[in-house]
Structure 1
């Protein structure tokens, strides 16, 4: 059995994530600061859910539409380099976070023996789920007909997001392996424990940090990691 202090820490960390998410929900839907690209509303909600108050600050500085309206009034660039990188890493991080939650829960429920450890199967499921969600998000936001939207989504993920997603996932998997083998070895971490999700939070934060240089490098090489969409696009 895990120590009481660790359980309490896990619950507090999860609660802070939910409170941070509620702050962005209120700002987005009650105060009316809707994103021009609607899918980014999900991205920011997921980001603050696993990072917490630090991500609320990132949202306030770089994700909130009003932040860029203020910069336009002050004759500053609409989308500075740091804002582009924050948006890219947050978007790829949301794919990875949602993929982690979906895959881990589904694989746990499908596992004949819940006590059986299948880390590499879980990692493969997490990665495939993250890429699938990335394609789905791009498909929803793509213009044109269905066939064109599929190609646009696949090509955009392959050229714009896959490298950042991979960097994010490698850091996540590295931390999860350490958590399972060294940090929280007994009892085994499983999705029915808050400590599992606390460890997942830490891994997702590690992934966010690891993905930042990759996104910055892509931008430095001139890759357009942020597509300009009209406010009507989702």
Structure 2
């Protein structure tokens, strides 16, 4: 049985994530600070859910639509390099976080023996789910619905997001392997335990940190990882 302090720490960490998410929900939907790209509302809600208060600060400084208006008034660049990289990592991280939750719960439900450790199956499911969600975000985030849009979403994910998602997932899987084998070996971590999701939070944070250099390198190579035009700028 896991120690009581670890259970308590896990519940506290999950509660902090939920409270952080509630703060952004209130700011977005009650105070009316909607994102120009609606999909980014999901991205920021997911990001603060696993990163916590630090992501709330990042949202306030870089993700909130009013942040760009303030920067214009102060004569600063509307889309500085750090803001572009942060948005890209947050978006790819949201795909990975949602993929992790969906795949882990689904695999836990269908496993005949939930205690059996099949980490490679879990990791494959997490990765495929993250890529699928990335394509869906691209597809539903653009206007219109057509077969050609599916191919455009696939190609965009392959060119723009695949590398960052892969870096994120590798860090996540590396931490989860340590968590399963070394840090929390007994009893086995399963999705019906808060410790599993606490370990997942730590892994997602590790993925966020690991994905940052990859996104920065992509931007340095001239790859357009940010939006072509923000509605704030268009209305200027």
> Where on the TM-score scale, by shorter chain, does this alignment land: which range?
over 0.9
Q: Shift of the alpha carbon at 1:228?
A: 2.3
Q: Please give the alpha-carbon distance, in whole angstroms, between the structure 1 residues aligned to 2:230 and 2:150.
A: 19
Report if aligned partners of 1:37, 1:229 keep a CA contact under 8 Å in 2.
no
Distance 2:122 2:65 in 1: 36
Q: CA deviation at 1:143?
A: 3.3
Matches within 5 A, 1:115-194: 115-194=115-194
Q: Unaligned 5+ residue runs, structure 1?
A: none
2:9 matched residue in structure 1: 9
1:225 maps to 225
* TM-score for both structures, normalised by structure 2: 0.96
Contact 1:143 1:149 (C-alpha < 8 Å) held by counterparts: no
**Which residues of 2 match residues 97-116 of structure 1 at below 5 A?**
97-116=97-116
For each residue in 1:77-103, what CA deviation from the matched residue of structure 2 results, as whole angstroms up to 9, or x when unmatched? 111000000000000000000000000
Alpha-carbon distance between aligned partners in 2 of 1:103 and 1:213, rounded to the nearest angstrom = 26
CA-CA distance at 1:142 after TM superposition:
2.0
Structure 2 CA distance for aligned equivalents of residues 148 and 110 of structure 1: 34
Q: Taking structure 1 as the reference length, what is the TM-score of the superposition?
A: 0.97
Give, in whole Å, the separation in 1 of the partners of 2:38 and 2:148.
Answer: 20
Equivalents in 2 of 1:35, 1:65: separation in Å?
Answer: 6
Structure 2 Cα separation of the partners of residues 229 and 101 of structure 1:
32
Single out whichever of 136-145 and 125-134 deviates more from structure 2: 136-145
**Match for residue 83 of structure 1?**
83
**Two-structure CA RMSD over aligned residues (Å):** 1.2
Q: 1:230 deviation in Å?
A: 6.0
**Segments ≥4 residues shifted beyond 3 Å:** none
Is residue 22 from structure 1 mapped to residue 22 from structure 2 by the alignment?
yes
Point out where structure 2 has 5 or more consecutive residues left out of the alignment. 232-236
* CA distance in 2 between partners of 1:110 and 1:144 (Å): 35
